[in-house]
Structure 1
């Protein structure tokens, strides 16, 4: 039914060597788990296309910071390049976030939103959501939940009111410091 994705991404064979850290936050700004994958070595870089832009989203030295907010229908991954600059924010629309064997996870509902540092944003995988609904993998309630949540987040992003985007650098620093200490 759902694609369950874990914060430590154990099945990601492209990454040959990595460091992993996670913590739980309960602050006014954010409640939930955050994870950080520090990519040491990959088999090959990964590029994606957004319109005519070719963007590298993983390579040696990259960091992937993932937020798993409690009680929300999204999870967000911020990708940082080897210089520490944000490459993109990737928001997965999901049914729920949780924890299993002390590792945070999310149940993916197909739709994704990508926000680039330029401010451009893209809604991805509408075809996957439609296909899952028509095949009966999800019911109309989940189909509608995914569409409504994506629309709500897109409106917040356009209005510059999706605050999690601005917390990424702070949370990356927190996990890096905790991991070194």
Structure 2
């Protein structure tokens, strides 16, 4: 069974004080839901290691913008530091995006792509997808779909034409006044 991840991240115990907003957008460039989580206070910062780089992805005052495009096999989380600088884009490969009880969600297909502001691109969790295939959590068709989406997105990112990355600051600005 695929893991369903919700845009409000309401079960995230690390965040002890938060503000959240979401909206539906239908523009020429994007159709779907966007969410914004402001982590006002966290129990402790969270950093990830990429090679020799240590990147803080959540701390007090950070914001996570999530984009859930309709009819796509990905969802993008843009992580902003307390000064509004992008620290990374995290692209989840997914089977589908949807809505339940008023909250956007995605069904995770294990593979992820991290894009750093430097342009560095990292594919993550291939081992998790292999494990899911061997355990029958995903079949060969879903496995192939995940890898096809990764290759497609890498190509779009490489040419600078992956729109969600380019829209992240604008989408954040749309949600900032709605934070509650």
**Shorter-chain TM-score tier:** over 0.9
Report what 1:91 is aligned to: 91
Secondary structure of the 1:156 match is helix
Deviations 1:150-179 (A, max 9, x none): 110011111111111110000100101234
Secondary structure of the 1:12 match is coil
Report what 1:54 is aligned to: 54
Report what 1:141 is aligned to: 141
Larger relative contact order (C-alpha < 8 A, sep ≥ 6)? 2
**Within 5 A, what are the aligned runs for 1:69-148?**
69-148=69-148
Q: Please give the alpha-carbon distance, in whole angstroms, between the structure 2 residues aligned to 1:129 and 1:22.
A: 30
Q: Please give the alpha-carbon distance, in whole angstroms, between the structure 1 residues aligned to 2:166 and 2:138.
A: 32
Question: Normalising by the residue count of structure 1, what TM-score does the alignment of the two structures yield?
Answer: 0.98
Report what 1:175 is aligned to: 175
Secondary structure of the 2:150 match is helix
Residue 8 of structure 2 corresponds to residue 28 of structure 1: no
Secondary structure of the 1:89 match is strand
| Structure 2 unmatched runs, 5+ | none
Q: Please give the alpha-carbon distance, in whole angstroms, between the structure 2 residues aligned to 1:125 and 1:74.
A: 15
Q: Please give the alpha-carbon distance, in whole angstroms, between the structure 2 residues aligned to 1:121 and 1:22.
A: 28
Alpha carbons 2:19, 2:179 under 8 Å: kept: no
Q: Please give the alpha-carbon distance, in whole angstroms, between the structure 2 residues aligned to 1:169 and 1:140.
A: 36
Q: Please give the alpha-carbon distance, in whole angstroms, between the structure 2 residues aligned to 1:137 and 1:170.
A: 37
Deviations 1:44-76 (A, max 9, x none): 000001111000000000000000000000000
Number of residue pairs the alignment of both structures matches: 180
Question: Normalising by the residue count of structure 2, what TM-score does the alignment of the two structures yield?
Answer: 0.98
Report what 2:6 is aligned to: 6
CA gap of 1:179–1:13, structure 2 versus 1, over 3 A, is closer
CA apart distance, 1:111: 0.2
Secondary structure of the 2:117 match is coil
Alpha carbons 2:8, 2:37 under 8 Å: kept: yes
Secondary structure of the 1:95 match is strand
